[in-house]
Every structure is written in structure tokens, then in C-alpha cells.
């Protein structure tokens, strides 16, 4: 069972205008299902912020999906003028789940915003507007579409093993990225040309990976299947073993 963290957004359809919903793009769900996993969409929940095991006990892996910018207050920064659409309740929920999942050595995959959140969860910070830092907008295409660029992954890393190649063409759409790296994280991939961080991972965990591109949009990608396989082979959390033994 792979838990996919849901976005919080205001949407319009039918007679409804600006209606607040929790949602996950179906591409994430389909990618998990194609890999033989069961997808469970997780909406933000204050109870789980206080006690993440309420949800983590019910899943085998955590997928942090893309979406709106992370509130800069989460990493002690003032908002850039281009930082918008933040949902602090989503941030708090995902940060709590991520930190506890890493403590439990549960497989974790962060995609786009999810990679950024993985970095923040471990004390890192974000570059809030890459076009300003890079002097160009190569990583963010027009609204509603994905741009493509080449990524180079370090051999022998989780990112390289998951992607199945040291070099690949990826689909992305983001304007923020990693600034200061979180504690224990290592950079395992960068974009060709401008050296933007494209993949980060936590080497002392079985599977803790963040990629800033969108593997769920590529049916041939092996990244999400690698997460599903990690979930399938995951050993029970020690607390679960103790509980079972006491029954």
C-alpha cells in the first residue's frame, strides 16, 4: 500500500466555483497501480500531524506528490514575491509524516514539491525562484504543460538505480529548488547545462529519494516502480513486531 499525500486546492466545476478540495493527480495513482501497488490518497489530517503513526501504520511506503509552493515559514524564510498558493496545513501534515516515516525507515519518494519537502523536513532550505537565480526559465514551461531537459545521475546511487540510467530526458515544471541541503542528504542528480539539483537521497535509509522531475508522467519510468518494490520488500517496523509478538 502506497500512501500518496493529497494537495489542497480551490477548484471550479459544474455549479461550484472556488470550492476547496483535497485531490491527487490520477497519474500518480496509475503509476503506482501499473507497478502492482495499491494507492491510497492521504488528505491532510491534524490528528496525524500530532501522531503520524495513525496513518503510517496503514501503509508500506509514502509518496510526496507535487503541488503548490511550500510555505517559507517552514524553513525560517520570508516569502519571495513569486512564492504563492501555499497551504500551511498541507506542509505541517507532510512534514510530520515524512519525518516519522524516515525514523521508521519506511520507503519515501518525493516528487517535485515532494523533493523540496523532503529537504525541508531534514532542515534544508529552498531557492524560492530559480529563474531569478539562473537568469532563465528553463525548468518551468508554460502553465499546464511540462518542459523537458536532460539530467545526469551519479552512478551507484538510489536515483540512478531507480531511474535505470545515468542520463535521461525528464519532464518537469517547477520554479523552486534546493538551496541548503538537509541533514544527511546527498545530491545524486543534476540537470545538464545549469547544474540545478534534480535528485537527493538519504544514504542511510533503505529508500529515501527525492526527484524534482515528474516520473508519474512517463509510463516507461522505473522510479515509482522502484518505490513499490521497496514497499513490497519492506520489513515490519520494530513497533509493529513488538505489538504482534504481544498478541
**Are 60 and 232 in contact, with CB atoms under 8 Å apart?**
yes
- Specify the long-range contacts of residues 230-234, CB closer than 8 Å, at least 24 apart: 230/61, 230/107, 230/206, 231/1, 231/2, 231/37, 231/60, 231/61, 231/107, 232/36, 232/37, 232/60, 234/60, 234/61, 234/106, 234/107, 234/206
Model confidence pTM above 0.75: yes
**Which residue in the list 112, 149, 175, 229 is annotated as catalytic?**
112
Instruction: Return the pLDDT at 171.
Output: 79
Which one of 139, 173, 174, 214 is the catalytic residue?
214
Tell me the per-residue pLDDT of 139-164, one tens digit each, with 9 for 90 and over: 555 555 677 778 999 999 999 998 88
**Annotated catalytic residue, options 198, 201, 216, 229:** 216
Flag the least confident range among 10-19, 35-44, 102-111, 175-184.
10-19
**Domains of the chain as residue ranges with CATH:** 2-9+19-242 (3.40.50.880)
160 is catalytic: no
Amino acid at each position: 500500500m502506497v500512501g500518496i499525500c493529497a494537495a489542497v486546492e480551490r477548484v471550479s466545476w459544474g455549479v461550484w466555483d472556488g470550492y476547496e478540495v483535497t485531490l491527487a493527480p490520477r497519474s500518480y495513482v496509475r503509476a503506482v497501480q501499473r507497478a502492482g501497488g495499491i494507492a491510497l490518497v492521504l488528505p491532510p489530517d491534524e490528528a496525524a500531524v500530532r501522531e503520524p503513526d495513525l496513518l503510517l501504520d496503514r501503509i508500506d511506503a509514502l509518496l510526496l506528490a507535487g503541488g503548490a509552493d511550500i510555505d517559507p515559514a517552514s524553513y525560517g524564510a520570508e516569502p519571495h514575491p513569486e512564492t504563492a498558493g501555499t497551504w500551511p496545513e498541507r506542509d505541517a501534515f507532510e512534514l510530520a509524516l515524512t519525518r516519522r516515516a524516515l525514523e521508521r525507515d519506511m520507503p519515501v519518494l518525493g516528487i517535485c514539491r515532494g523533493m523540496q519537502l523532503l529537504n525541508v523536513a531534514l532542515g534544508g532550505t529552498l531557492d524560492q525562484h530559480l529563474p531569478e537565480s539562473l537568469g532563465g526559465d528553463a525548468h518551468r514551461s508554460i502553465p499546464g504543460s511540462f518542459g523537458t531537459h536532460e539530467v545526469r545521475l551519479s552512478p551507484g546511487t538510489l536515483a540512478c538505480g531507480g531511474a535505470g540510467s545515468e542520463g535521461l530526458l525528464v519532464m518537469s515544471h517547477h520554479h523552486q529548488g534546493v538551496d541548503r541541503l538537509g541533514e544527511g542528504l546527498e545530491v545524486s542528480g543534476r540537470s545538464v547545462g545549469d547544474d540545478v539539483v534534480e535528485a537527493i537521497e538519504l544514504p542511510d535509509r533503505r529508500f529515501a529519494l527525492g526527484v524534482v522531475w515528474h516520473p508519474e508522467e512517463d509510463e516507461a519510468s522505473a522510479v515509482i516502480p522502484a518505490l513499490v518494490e521497496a514497499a513490497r520488500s519492506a520489513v515490519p517496523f520494530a513497533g509493529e513486531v513488538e505489538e504482534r509478538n504481544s498478541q
